[in-house]
Amino acid sequence: MQKTSPFITAEELKKKIDRKEKITILDVREPYEFEEGHIPESINIPLQSLGSGILEKIVPKKKEIVTVCLHGVRSFRAQKELALHGYKAKNLSGGMVAWNSVYGTALVHGRKHLKSAPKPH
């Protein structure tokens, strides 16, 4: 049996978005990073807030989740944690840097913030 990869490329994610597949794009960066630009329709739950049970209230375990951060490191930690808890999760390989290199700067619209923190000064 072939094991599926925990990673997804920017191109693969864009195809899923264009096909309107039922996925949740989970951006685990800090709210101020999310405000600077994110993939449309993504939700923002910072990595340190994932254990608070907030995700379980809004995303069914059967739904595919794609985790995102700036370079893919924090989102990979999130992907591993989600997979351990029974979620179908993949990590955007290269994070927003990879997304932006292919599709330009992410648009800031469709904002959904959960448990936001104040912006640094």
Domain ranges of the chain: 7-103
Q: Domain 7-103, CATH 3.40.250.10 — does that match?
A: yes
Token look-up 């936001």 returns 116
| Residue positions annotated with a catalytic role | 69
Q: Is the pTM above the cut of 0.85?
A: no
Pairing relation of β-strands 88-92 and 64-68? parallel
Can you give the length of the chain in residues? 121
* 3-state secondary structure string across 28-83: CCCHHHHHCCCCCCCEECCHHHHHHCHHHHHCCCCCEEEEECCCCHHHHHHHHHHH
- 75 bridge partner residues: none
Which pLDDT does position 81 carry in this prediction? 93
Residue pLDDT, tens place only, 48-78: 998 878 888 888 888 999 999 999 999 999 9
